[in-house]
Amino acid sequence: MPAHRIKSPRLLVAESGADREGHGLKRTMGLFQLVCFGVGAIVGTGIFVGLSDSVAEAGPAVVVSFVLAAITCVFTAFAFAELGGAIPVSGSSYSFAYAGLGERTAFLVGWCLLLEYGVSVSAVAVGWSQYVNELLDSVVGLQLPHALSAGPGDGGLISLPAVIVIALACVLLVRGVRESARATAAMAVLKLAVLVAFCAIGFVAFKDGNLTPFSPAGLGGIGAGTTAAFFSYIGFDAITTAGEEAKNPRRDIPIAILVCIGLVTLLYCAVAVAAIGAVGGDTVGDRPAALSYVVNEVTGSTIGGGIVAFGAVVAIASVVLAVMYGQTRILLSMSRDGLVPPVFEKVSPRTATPVAGTLIVGVVFALPAAFAPLDAVVNLCTIGTLATMAAVNIAVIALRRREPGLARTFRVPLYPVTPLLGVGFCLYLIYETGATTWLQFAVFLAVGLLVYSAYGRRHSRLARTSLSAEDAAERVPQEA
């Protein structure tokens, strides 16, 4: 049965060349680049644009929402760290599910990742438009016409800046991972500096009274704020997609994941407290380009807000770059397994990048960013991400039982309590998304199953091989 086609971790690693030079990809990323890549994938629209949505739900208690979202991510980050060190391949959650839960589940995980990365990149690119206009207004006193900076759903014709940032990311990704990693590292350092500077400005104007009432909407508001805040953490799993391009993936990937989650959580909480403490939760809630507004109010000048807008433009661009990188590598792994068309696994010998796959992903991501209203599907993106995280936690348990001797450079602490708590927190946040989102997600999974039955199941290379996955794994030389 396809559901029980399980690809052993040793076979995954051997096919990808993950302990050598990975499948035509070059190993150029060290620990610093991986951490910057993770920060680049996480810190962007969620804090620069999405903070106002979270504050509108939870008020000053948004700090609690960020911590609860972080706890969910931490439990799952432990699972990603264990599997990312044990199975350092480009497929990330998809490959982990293939090794632990079987082919059909792995395909659905990959299907959810298409949703996660596709919606998040498109939403991030749309958020980029807000800060581009804010930056232009601060620097030259002009803004792009609304018709060119918003899609039809928001009263415009096309979100041109969103298309431009995706196109720029495509160019960098096609040129090579070394260039992409350098650009991501530079942008990560810059946006961290801007957010630290924002906190310094915000705390200068801090007023205790702005934090009361602390939780105006009660526990329900905190729960809704947690679901909104979770979108701010989407992307940390993209670190594991660099498994075949990291210099020492078994050591560096677990460290990079945990460092990123800790750093980002501290930063988010500090920014939220600084913003609300400076101007109040009612002012921050539901306000476009909220961080620029706070700085302008505190300093009495548009210069500071312009600097924050510039930081946001850079930050959001780095998210687009990092998440598109992750998407192309997941599709490469799925194509290698025969579950999606072979065009996605073709790597250019000149640039050592999947050029055709990158260009296809760019076009597919640019279309909804340019024209489609994305607010309605952000919760669908969140529930898909949570389902993927739950699957990774379950895969840890499955592989501990099936592959007790697998070399693991990091082990989930307090096993099996930690992965079970990870599943529990994911289910709680899934519950908070609401019945409408559950129904949308059920339909989305049903479509995924149809695609798998029509294409993936028939073209699966594991199914067509004359050897079982276990027999093939035994033929692969063991690590010394």
* 39-72 residue pLDDT tens: 877 887 677 767 888 888 889 999 999 888 888 8
d(CA 180, CA 202): 33
Q: Where residue 22 falls among pLDDT bands split at 50, 70, 90? A: very low
Work out the burial of residue 141: count CB atoms within 10 Å of its CB; fewer than 13 is exposed, 13-18 middle, 19 or more buried: exposed
pLDDT of residue 217: 85
Indicate whether 16 pLDDT > 70: no
Give CA separation, 291 vs 54, 288, 461, in Å.
13, 9, 50
CA angle, 358 then 121 then 260, to 5°: 100
Question: What percentage of the chain exceeds 70 in pLDDT?
Answer: 92
One-letter amino acid at 449 equals: L
* Best-predicted range by mean pLDDT (307-316, 333-342, 360-369): 333-342
Give CA separation, 127 vs 180, 185, 187, 369, in Å.
21, 21, 17, 10
The DSSP call for residue 246 is B
Close Cβ partners of 373 (under 8 Å, ≥ 6 residues apart): 151, 152, 153, 154
Mean pLDDT over 390-413 rounds to 92
Indicate whether 199 pLDDT > 80: yes
Close Cβ partners of 281 (under 8 Å, ≥ 6 residues apart): 55, 59, 60, 62, 210, 211, 216
Q: Where residue 480 falls among pLDDT bands split at 50, 70, 90? A: very low
d(CA 292, CA 308): 6
d(CA 232, CA 44): 8
The pTM of the whole model exceeds 0.75? yes
Q: Tell me: the pLDDT tens digits for 28-40?
A: 778 888 888 888 7
d(CA 209, CA 200): 19
Mean pLDDT over 397-414 rounds to 91
Mean pLDDT over 215-228 rounds to 87
Q: Tell me: the pLDDT tens digits for 461-474?
A: 888 774 444 454 45
Asked whether the beta carbons of 115 and 380 are under 8 A apart, the reply is: yes
Work out the burial of residue 414: count CB atoms within 10 Å of its CB; fewer than 13 is exposed, 13-18 middle, 19 or more buried: exposed
d(CA 248, CA 336): 22
Q: How far apart are the first and last CA of the chain?
A: 34
Closest C-alpha among 105, 91, 86 to residue 6: 105
Indicate whether 360 pLDDT > 60: yes
Instruction: Count other C-beta atoms under 10 Å from residue 407's C-beta.
Output: 14
